[in-house]
Amino acid sequence: MSTALASSTELRLVEHVARIAEEHPPIRLDSVDFTVKRPREFEARFGHVLDYMARVELEVDRNVLELTTMLPDPPEIDRHFYADVWQPQEIQHGLILDRLQVELGRESAEADLDSIGLKLKVLGALAHLSPFQDVCRMLYYLTGMATERTAVLAYNQLYRGTLDLGEDAVANTIIGQIKRQEPGHYAFYQISARGLWAELAAWQRWMVRLMRRVSFSPVGANNARQKADFGDVMTTLGIDKAPDDFAEQIARVEKELLWARDRGLRVPDYVSRAFHEAVELARARTHLPHLPR
């Protein structure tokens, strides 16, 4: 990418981050209403979805730790975004959703806040070599896109489901407020991913494709239990009926950038496989209730 193009990406990012910081301050606790008319019904239907989303949102603090390991020397706009804008918004999403589930009589989410996998540590060590840092950055943007797009779709479904149950206070003051903040995060990663992909050399692109293939997982699903939990979330939100449509929406830009050569490809196979696997694990667990939840 030419320097002019690179700096136009950077300019767009600077403007974008300034705008979301201005338009979307972290949600204040006193702006939400935890009133639930029929807590038992609401908990039975959506309790586990709240728990999953609360955990993923609260794990933002581990994500920041992972980021600083994986990207020891990030561009200033990335640092500004994740430290000053993104983290303060996401942590509020987590705290508010967690408080809601506690109000419904559930346990708090069990967020894993400090374990960084060996894989990331290795990446972090390699990232000190600058050409490799760009590979890591690209993986970070791709993960960010998939994560934020999942959040947008999940909160849309949860918002509708909550309204359908007549829980207007939760729908409008909690889910509605949270869901409005996610598209701005998605846009940040999308602009970044498009800009950086254009700058990568062929070997870096090859490496990104390879690493994506071996490491993709749905947001927050880091082991079999969490994958099954994610499958349950998909089922409750009605996404299990068309996992490939869901995968397609999650990975649209990733497909366009990484797999443009494979014309006619609907969705990268590792994305589709991951969502099918989550639904299958959840179904298997329903039939084998002795498995740990």
Contact at 8 Å (CB) between 234 and 278? Answer: yes
For residue 182, state whether it binds Fe ion (rule: CB under 5 A). yes
For residue 285, state whether it binds Fe ion (rule: CB under 5 A). no
Cα–Cα distances in Å, from 52 out to 58, 230, 261?
10, 7, 36
Would you state the structure tokens that stand for residue 207, as one six-digit string?
């490496």
Binding residue (CB under 5 A) for Fe ion from 51, 59, 90, 134: 90
* Site for Fe ion, residues 215 to 274, rule: CB under 5 A: none
Residue 174 Cβ vs Fe ion, minimum distance, rounded to whole Å: 12
For residue 16, state whether it binds Fe ion (rule: CB under 5 A). no
For residue 55, state whether it binds Fe ion (rule: CB under 5 A). no
For Fe ion, which stretch binds (CB under 5 A), given 16-24, 56-64, 210-218, 236-244? 56-64
For Fe ion, which stretch binds (CB under 5 A), given 16-24, 39-47, 157-165, 176-184? 176-184
Side chain identity, residue 77: I
Residue 20 Cβ vs Fe ion, minimum distance, rounded to whole Å: 10
Residue 125 Cβ vs Fe ion, minimum distance, rounded to whole Å: 28
Residue 246's CB is within 10 A of a number of other CB atoms, namely: 25
For Fe ion, which stretch binds (CB under 5 A), given 162-170, 183-191, 195-203, 235-243? 183-191
For residue 59, state whether it binds Fe ion (rule: CB under 5 A). no
Would you state the structure tokens that stand for residue 202, as one six-digit string?
């062929």
Residue 91 Cβ vs Fe ion, minimum distance, rounded to whole Å: 9
- Choice between 59 and 167, CB closer to Fe ion: 59
For residue 93, state whether it binds Fe ion (rule: CB under 5 A). yes
Residue 78's CB is within 10 A of a number of other CB atoms, namely: 19
For residue 185, state whether it binds Fe ion (rule: CB under 5 A). yes
Q: Is 3 exposed, middle or buried (0-12, 13-18, 19+ CB in 10 A)?
A: exposed
Lay out the site mask for Fe ion across 114-153 (x = CB under 5 A, - = otherwise). ----------------------------------x-----
- Choice between 90 and 134, CB closer to Fe ion: 90
Q: What angle do CA 99, 104, 109 make, to 5 degrees?
A: 50
Q: For residue 250, which of 143, 150, 139, 142 has the smallest C-alpha distance? A: 150
Q: Is 260 exposed, middle or buried (0-12, 13-18, 19+ CB in 10 A)?
A: exposed
Q: How many residues contact Fe ion, by CB under 5 A?
A: 6
Could you identify the residue written with the tokens 């849309």? 156
Rounded to whole angstroms, the Cα distance separating 283 from 235 reads: 9
Rounded to whole angstroms, the Cα distance separating 285 from 281 reads: 6
Residue 131 Cβ vs Fe ion, minimum distance, rounded to whole Å: 29
Rule CB under 5 A: which residues touch Fe ion? 57, 90, 93, 148, 182, 185
